[in-house]
Copies of this chain bind each other. A is one copy, B any other.
Amino acid sequence: MSDKKISVVIVEDDAQIREGISALIKSANEFSLKGAFAECHSLLAALDNILPDVFLMDISMPGMTGIECAAKIKSIYPAVNIVMLTVYENDSQIFDSLRAGASGYILKNTPLEQILDAIKDVNAGGAPMTPSIAKRVLGFFNETGQKTIEYNLTLREKEILHELVNGLSYKKIAETLFISIDTVRSHIKNIYYKLHVSSKSGAVAKALKDRIF
């Protein structure tokens, strides 16, 4: 299907792993190895000359972490694909890596053939990750997505809170909802009581932070 080899650069401080994977890539005729580095600085210095299709990047390395390095590479060449390679599945490492622009995240104990699959996946525009990593990512989703705390606001109160979030004054809200300003006041008093706040901005902050909408 593919007409040319996928070029790879590996950055990994552990010589054994680095050379193992290097040998693997050299022996597979779908891939070509463009470089193998033990730390980030020498890679960055040589970057312009050896830019590959895909990076395999270790996370914990002396000097500069793979995450920082990935961010640097991405800032210069946004289109390259970077697969992080690590021993730990640690939430903050995963998220920092993803934020740095990594497109894949696999564990070092992954079978070698699957590492090659991951390189192919990422080169095809996919985002390879082990199911356990994916689980962490999804967990993040649910946390932030579900946090819809219920404050037992009535329908009308939610409407009014919504207008507060939109930045309307009491007067404008009264006009919009065709009620008197005193009614607006009354509702807002109750909203404050239920949300445990005592100012418009406090209510707005709570509404947005707790995703009442």
The interface of chain A, by Cβ under 8 A from chain B, is: 95, 98-99, 101, 103-104, 121-122, 124-132, 134-135, 137-138, 141-142, 145-146, 164-167, 169, 197, 199-205, 208-209
What CA separation (Å) do A197 and B130 show in the bound complex?
A: 45
Chain B residues lying within 8 Å of A167, measured Cβ to Cβ, are 197, 199, 201-202, 205
Contact B145 A98 (CB under 8 A): yes
Contact B125 A128 (CB under 8 A): no
Per assembly, the copies of the chain total 2
What CA separation (Å) do A84 and B99 show in the bound complex?
A: 26
What CA separation (Å) do A124 and B124 show in the bound complex?
A: 28
Contact A99 B142 (CB under 8 A): yes
What CA separation (Å) do A129 and B166 show in the bound complex?
A: 38
Chain B residues lying within 8 Å of A122, measured Cβ to Cβ, are 131
Chain B residues lying within 8 Å of A135, measured Cβ to Cβ, are 103, 125-127
| CB of A199, distance to nearest CB on chain B (Å) | 6
Q: Can you name the residue of chain B whose Cβ is closest to the Cβ of A139?
A: B127
Contact A138 B103 (CB under 8 A): yes
Contact A129 B134 (CB under 8 A): yes
| CB of A91, distance to nearest CB on chain B (Å) | 13
Chain B residues lying within 8 Å of A145, measured Cβ to Cβ, are 98-99
Q: Which are the 7 A-B pairs with shortest beta-carbon distances? A: A126-B131, A127-B134, A127-B135, A167-B202, A121-B131, A200-B201, A208-B208
